[in-house]
Each structure stands twice: as C-alpha cells, then as structure tokens.
Amino acid sequence: MSETNDNIKKTDVLIVGAGPVGLFAVFELGLFDMKCHLIDILDRPGGQCAELYPEKPIYDIPGFPSISAQGLVDNLMEQISPFKPEFTFNRMVAGLEKQADGSFRVTTDEDEVFEAKVVVIAAGGGSFQPKRPPIPGIEAYEGNSVFYSVRRMEEFRGQDIMIVGGGDSALDWTLNLQPIAKSLTLVHRRPEFRAAPDNVNKMFALQEEKRLDFQIGQVTALAGNDGRLHSATIKGPDGDIEVPVTRLLPFFGLTMKLGPIAEWGLNLTENLIHVDTEKFETSVPGIFAIGDINWYAGKLKLILSGFHEAALMAQAAKRIVSPGERIVFQYTTSSTSLQKKLGVA
C-alpha cells in the first residue's frame, strides 16, 4: 500500500500511464520489491489496447500466437496482481517537480499530490483527451454543466441529464446514471449503436418503460446562463425539439495529446522523450520513460519493446529506491525468493 500522509500519497515508483507497458513495469519493479502507483486519465487500465482496439487480435506478443488486445490487458492485470499496485483513474498527471532530497512530487489535474522516489513515464502517445462536439458555445458550459467523463456520480444525481453518442461510454453511462437522474435523454445520430449489444437492448428496454428518452438527431444549440445549462435543442427527423438539460455528457471519442509532459523540462524531440538504452532514463535522473513515449536510435513502437525497456528500467530504479543494496539477477523459474513474491512457492 502507498502511505498516506497529510493527504500526500507516498510510493516507491509513480507510473504515469496504465497502458500495457506501464502495467508490465509493475511486474518488473515488483520483483525487486518496489511498490507502484499508476495514474491514468482513462477510467480503466490498458491504454491504446483497451481504448482503441480491444477486440483486435495481436500476433506479435512473444508466446501468444494470437491474443486480443483486451485479453493481453486482462492477463497483465492478473500477472501483476501479486504486487498489489494502486491505481488512480480518471486523472491526468499535470505537474512533476524534483524535490531537494531527490524524490519527486507529482500532482494531478484534481490537485491530488503524490511523492515517489522514482517516476516512470509510460504515457504512450500522450493522454487520451475527449473530442469537443461541434455545438456552438459549448465551451461556456464546460466544467459546470458539460462534462466529458463522470468523475463523481453524485454531481449527476437529481439532474436532467443528456448523453450524446453511440459507443460504449455513452451506453454505459446511460445505464449507470439513469437510476439517479431526474430525467435522462440519450441522443444519437441513428438508431444503430457501436456499443455492446446487451447494453443497447437494456437501453431500449428502459425506453419502453419510459424511464429514459432516446432521440435520434444531433444537438444543435444550448441555452442557459452563467455557465449553467437549462436546455438543449435536438435537430431530429421530425424537426427541432427543446429538452430540459442541466448536465450534458458528449461522448465523441478521444484524441491523444502529449499534454503537460511537454512542460516538465525533459529532453524531447517531436513529443518523444529522449532516453538512454541502458536504463531508459530521461535527461532528469530518477525519471524514466518507457513504451511508445520514448525515443532512442532504432526505437520500434511495439509492445514487446516496451516490455524489454521495463525490465532494464527496473534494475536502475532499484538502485535509486534502495541505494547500496546488491542486485542479484534471478530467473522466475528457479528462484524461490521470486516465486514467494509471486505467491507460487
């Protein structure tokens, strides 16, 4: 467990990004007894694999002739479970500062503070950020009435909620928020959805029972004042309708942006972080970068490259977390001490 002290969470290694490479880093660091806390802006682990192509088979993971991207993430989560990593989802790592004692202070966009002896940036192509829908004036309501993710469900209780989109996020949140909403309207351009069929069926069943309202169309205008939304206009096949709305959740997909990492004073080329190939350390000692986010001569943006980088990074991180401790090279097949850590001996 990370220690909590005056609301500052302390851990050995803070990992920015819970994509496949950040997840595997927990394993390699765990074998050396280092505790990890991972922060990701997404609401679940898996990075690109979970967000962009969960059902596609991957054919170049060593030892797996074929494995779905989500299957790989599920296996990684099982593989790292003996090390009990902690996760903070739905948060962007915003600030990173080196302290006088050499440790790092990391802050999120919700002002949570973490302290770690080592920081591993496994941020892939950058943080996934929501696409803003083309609704005139929507910016004025963002943060008060318009949200692109649900961080605290309580903010939606008793509200007139409108959800826009036809993918998994739109349908998941329709089903999760409907029981606590005053009213819920789901808006999608057409009656076909990209979401899991079971959730689509549940949504249509709730519509039959008049517990939510599904509208085909597009949101074309918002009305309200002082950043607080009162209503939205939907342009549908039968013309315009105005619906009371106090919370709008558009799910129009995500783009990847490097975000605050660009401001951390690291040596970058075209948004990639320079590292050495011995330790995968950045230009700032104690900060490592592994996976798609790093650059070195010959770099290949492959999951297996990130796994290799994680193994070498862990050795170097151990020297920082436990200075002076001897590092012994061991195989998991034959080391009883490693097997104990994995809970198999």
Ligand X SMILES: Cc1cc2nc3c(=O)[nH]c(=O)nc-3n(C[C@H](O)[C@H](O)[C@H](O)COP(=O)(O)OP(=O)(O)OC[C@H]3O[C@@H](n4cnc5c(N)ncnc54)[C@H](O)[C@@H]3O)c2cc1C
What is the smallest separation between the CB atom of 213 and ligand X, expressed in angstroms? 32
Q: Of 132 and 230, which CB lies nearer to ligand X in the complex structure?
A: 132
Q: Of 171 and 293, which CB lies nearer to ligand X in the complex structure?
A: 293
Say which residue the tokens 């790592």 belong to: 93
Q: Of 224 and 306, which CB lies nearer to ligand X in the complex structure?
A: 306
Q: Which residue is nearest to ligand X (CB)?
A: 124
Is residue 104 within 8 A of residue 286, CB to CB? The reply is yes
Output the furthest CA–CA distance in the chain (Å, rounded): 74
Which residues, listed in sequence order, are joined to residue 221 by a DSSP beta bridge? 233
What is the smallest separation between the CB atom of 319 and ligand X, expressed in angstroms? 23
What is the smallest separation between the CB atom of 71 and ligand X, expressed in angstroms? 13
- H/E stretch holding 4: strand 3-5
Q: Of 177 and 256, which CB lies nearer to ligand X in the complex structure?
A: 256
Q: Of 53 and 204, which CB lies nearer to ligand X in the complex structure?
A: 53
Q: Which residues bind ligand X (CB under 6 A)?
A: 16-22, 39-42, 47-49, 52-53, 58, 60, 92-93, 122-128, 259-261, 291-292, 301-304, 306
What is the smallest separation between the CB atom of 266 and ligand X, expressed in angstroms? 13
What is the smallest separation between the CB atom of 293 and ligand X, expressed in angstroms? 6
Q: Of 301 and 308, which CB lies nearer to ligand X in the complex structure?
A: 301
Q: Of 314 and 338, which CB lies nearer to ligand X in the complex structure?
A: 314
Which residues, listed in sequence order, are joined to residue 269 by a DSSP beta bridge? 272
Calpha distance 168→189 (Å, rounded): 15
DSSP state of 116: E
Calpha distance 86→100 (Å, rounded): 26
What is the smallest separation between the CB atom of 10 and ligand X, expressed in angstroms? 19
Q: Give CB contacts under 8 A, 24+ apart, made by 57-63.
A: 58/303, 60/302, 60/303, 60/304, 61/303, 61/304, 62/304
**Concatenated DSSP letters for 232-260?**
EEEEETTEEEEEE-SEEEE---EEEE-GG
Calpha distance 306→317 (Å, rounded): 16
What is the smallest separation between the CB atom of 50 and ligand X, expressed in angstroms? 8
Q: Of 22 and 250, which CB lies nearer to ligand X in the complex structure?
A: 22
Q: Of 77 and 223, which CB lies nearer to ligand X in the complex structure?
A: 77
What is the smallest separation between the CB atom of 51 and ligand X, expressed in angstroms? 7
What is the smallest separation between the CB atom of 191 and ligand X, expressed in angstroms? 27
Distances (CA, A) of 243 to 10, 120, 170, 198: 47, 46, 18, 27
Calpha distance 316→300 (Å, rounded): 22
State whether the Cα torsion 75-321-285-111 is positive or negative: positive
Calpha distance 317→174 (Å, rounded): 43
